[in-house]
Amino acid sequence: MSGVSILGTRVLRTEDPSFLSTGAVYTQDVQDERLAGAVHVHFVRSTVAHARISGIDASAARQAEGVVAVFTGADLHNPPGRAAAGLQPVRPMMQAMNQAMVQHLLATDTVRFVGEAVAAIVTEHPYQGEDASELLDIDYDFLPAVVDMNDAVAGANGLLFPEAGTNVVVTFGDAGTLDPDLFADCEIVASEVIQNRRVAPAPMETRAAAAVWADDRLTAWIPNQGAQGTKRALMGMLGLKSGQVRIITPDVGGAFGAKFGVDTEPAVVCWIARELGRPARWSETRMENLLGMTHGRAQQQKVTIGGRRDGTVLAYRLEILQDSGAYPRFGASLPSLTILMAPGPYRIPRAEAIATSVATNTTPVGAYRGAGRPEASAAIDRAIDLFAASAGVDPAQVRRKNLLPKFTEPHTTTFGAKYDSGDYVAALEAALEAAGYDELRAEQKRRRDAGATLQLGIGLSSYVEITGPGGEAGGPNENGTVEVHPDGTATVLTGTSPHGQGHATVWAMLVSDELGIPIDKVTVTWGDSDMVPRGGGTGGSRSLQLGGAAVQQASRELLDVARERAGAALEASPSDLEFDVSRSAFAVKGDPDASVSLSSLAEPERLVVQSVFRSPGPTFPFGTHLAVVEVDTETGKVSLTRMVTVDDAGTVINPLLAEGQRHGGIAQGAAQALLEEVVYDADGNPLTTTLADYPFVSATELPSFELVDMQTPTSYNPLGAKGIGEAGSIGSTPAVQNAVVDAVAHLGVTHIDMPTSPQRVWQAINAALAGKQKEA
Ligand code: MCN
């Protein structure tokens, strides 16, 4: 017996009342008595992109007010006069990557990017470290900086790691195997080198750590996306055993992929706490965050696309150069995902993709919302528009013609991705209809004919992406534990780790839906490696389809256990009982008065079940984004006026949260197309080190988004849900970029690189007009 399901309804976030009243407790705010008397760590960071450290004189800094200690890379890795502390440098994550490219916890003999931590000053009070850092004398012997990815491949300005013998971190695929005849039968071939710029994740909460040791055991509070993965990474750096580490995840003020695992700074803070026998804390400034936290994207992409004059695409090639930054982190591996998703939702008979990741003297590159898939989408959807322009066919028509037709059984691409279900044409048509595509084109024509200053651009992107990938052998999986208590409340332990996604609300909805316990009586716990020792954390938009499914499964299995107990309590056969969700009670079929409440079955023995949900594979959400922009042809200024999106993530469990995720993703994706870019000068000096220089998007630059609902369930989990956390950032970037190019295409512009700043747009218009004049 069940009442009306709470699933699919717009339940307000249960997290919000405390966020809006008492406030969040970020790592910086943690008031734990174990942290009383903590010292404060300040990192002294390299001011040069590439240099050998010829000497560090810390004597004056050590005398400065409040200074407890000063540590350098040598103190950590080669302590003079005593055995090394067992600290491990960070090695590249994939075996195939050049293993000589190691990162020490503090730079030892060489600095490789501006912002690299060189020394740690430990003080009694915060801010004393910054003052003392003025007295720390670091001598650098400058080396040429490798800033441009193309220079890095060629080894033009030297090598970051001479012992590696190359700046190439890893290659995916082999240029030698590319088919010289790939485009042989194509009537039209279009090609362009496009820049998917480096961007900064810029979460509101910057990085931080707090650490204390007791009985040779570390407890560390670190903002992260998965305590278990953070623990593993920290154990590796500090040479610790599992039983020696407890990670606690306080509230996390945004992460966007960049708080997965752990950076070197928290490891140093943990080491310092042990070394000094005192708790230690660290939190960074915004400038340090922009310098030191991993950046995202940073791909140069050569796209070549060919086909028939009627708009049929026959062949596509993507050649990627990935900037890994100074040390190979997650970003170096991301081209593999870009390659996997290279053809997107299109049916392209012949497609090839290869990639090279290179080290440069810049901040390391990591995951950033979408991680590898927005790059694939940006490449193919820009290519589709280049092709449409060359063929003289409307870009919507080219998409319609080349999208894979609807499928309900998994479809395997030439790159080995197994798309679970999709209806890409329906998503395109829904977006076109919602936007009023034909009227928009008519309005565009009117403005073109009138030679208006403000031209209209319409841009499309049809995407498919992958969520919930990976997992150990046996497929992507996650665990969930549900316990019902005698007082009628329930607790949930989850291996996911929300930082804005609202799992506390949705996991409670799932429990409530199965067990009939009101959501305000369900407490969801995560992010403490002692309480939840196993878990894959939150990333790759995996949480609902794996972690949520595990919570639902655990609830169902708990009911099985409870049914046996209820049978004994009611002296009835368990099969003669039905569970009445509306009363949260078992009753004998046909005799509702003979009943026993679920909570009363939770004693004397605990009523608790842990379950692991395993999916047959990742799922593939899809959709179409349509952007409308106005471009001022005299100044190059772009205004994004409409953003119409269809984002199909299967069955939606909480539309309010799913829409919120779409909003955030669309904003970030549009921002990449319009504004955001981390910039370095030729010597590797970062020019975007404050939020005044780094044009972080805000509501003023964005229209109200027009979200169209579409839900094509997946069969890969009982919820029918795919991921929605990143989709917004995947479709929006190419849609907006395509719209900007479209607005000025009639002037002869064929491509404008991101971000489409007024300067770039103005230059593109002028270059196109000058070209036309020359032709004339
Ligand atoms: N949801 C739903 N129905 C669906 C899919 C999802 O109701 N079919 C709900 C889920 O219950 C959950 C939310 O939408 O509350 C997102 O779920 P999911 O798509 O499973 O994604 P994750 O929870 O795994 O979130 C990860 C994703 C990633 S990878 C990044 S990066 C990202 C993002 O989420 N970073 C964020 N969203 C963010 N939002 C905030 N506020 N801050 C970040 O750092």
Query: Percentage of the chain surpassing pLDDT 90?
Result: 95
Own/partner pairs, 741-744, CB within 8 angstroms, 24+ separation: 741/385, 741/457, 741/459, 742/385, 742/395, 742/444, 742/457, 742/458, 742/459, 743/455, 743/456, 743/457, 743/629, 743/630, 743/631, 743/638, 744/455, 744/457, 744/631, 744/633, 744/768
Closest-CA residue, ligand 1 atom 21, reads 541
- Ligand 1 centre from 59 Cα, in Å? 49
State the alpha helices, DSSP H only, in 678-757: 727-744
- Ligand 1 centre from 620 Cα, in Å? 15
Closest ligand 1 atom to Cα of 720: 8
What is the identity of the amino acid at 69? A
- Ligand 1 centre from 647 Cα, in Å? 13
Closest-CA residue, ligand 1 atom 33, reads 725
Closest-CA residue, ligand 1 atom 4, reads 652
- Ligand 1 centre from 69 Cα, in Å? 42
**Residue 185 in contact with residue 278, Cβ under 8 Å?**
no
Place of tokens 């409308």: 628
Closest ligand 1 atom to Cα of 651: 8
Q: Is 648 left (phi over 0), alpha (psi -120 to 50) or beta?
A: beta
What lines the ligand 1 site, CB under 6 Å? 254-257, 369, 499-503, 506, 538-544, 548, 649-654, 657-658, 661, 664, 721-726
Closest ligand 1 atom to Cα of 500: 41
Low-confidence residues in the chain, pLDDT < 50: none
**Which one-letter DSSP state was computed for residue 746?**
G
Q: How far apart are CA 662 and CA 190, in angstroms?
A: 32
Place of tokens 């979408």: 370
Q: In terms of Cα–Cα distance, which of 1, 92, 510, 674 is closest to 332?
A: 92
Residues 248-275 pLDDT 10s:
999 999 999 999 999 999 999 999 999 9
**3-class state of residue 399 by DSSP:** helix
Closest-CA residue, ligand 1 atom 3, reads 652
- Ligand 1 centre from 544 Cα, in Å? 8
pLDDT at 327: 98
pLDDT at 709: 98
* Residue of 330, 337, 501 to mutate, ligand 1, most atoms within 8 A of C-beta: 501
Token pair of 70 as six digits: 């000063």
pLDDT at 473: 65
Measure the CA angle with vertex 329, ends 271 and 527; round to 5°.
60
Closest ligand 1 atom to Cα of 548: 11
Q: In terms of Cα–Cα distance, which of 108, 16, 504, 90 is closest to 267?
A: 90
Token pair of 277 as six digits: 């026998």
Residues 418-438 pLDDT 10s:
999 999 999 999 999 999 999
* Interaxial angle between packed helices 727-744 and 373-391, expressed in degrees from 0 to 180 and rounded to the nearest 10: 30
In three-state form (DSSP H/G/I as H, E/B as E, the rest C), the secondary structure along 425-437 is HHHHHHHHHHHCH
Q: How far apart are CA 207 and CA 767, in angstroms?
A: 43
pLDDT at 474: 75
Closest ligand 1 atom to Cα of 502: 15
pLDDT at 127: 92
pLDDT at 84: 63
Cα 4 to its chain centre, rounded Å, is: 35
pLDDT at 772: 79
Q: How far apart are CA 419 and CA 434, in angstroms?
A: 26
- Residues counted in the chain: 776
- Ligand 1 centre from 729 Cα, in Å? 12
What is the DSSP annotation of 30-90? ---GGGTT-EEEEEEE-SSSSEEEEEEE-HHHHHSTTEEEEEEHHHHHS-TTS------PB
Element (H, E) at 169: strand 168-172
Contacts of 549 by beta carbon, 8 Å cutoff, 6+ apart: 478, 613, 615, 717, 718, 719, 721
Closest ligand 1 atom to Cα of 255: 44
* Residue of 541, 652, 662, 711 to mutate, ligand 1, most atoms within 8 A of C-beta: 541
**Residue 619 in contact with residue 722, Cβ under 8 Å?**
yes
Q: In terms of Cα–Cα distance, which of 215, 361, 324, 251 is closest to 27?
A: 251
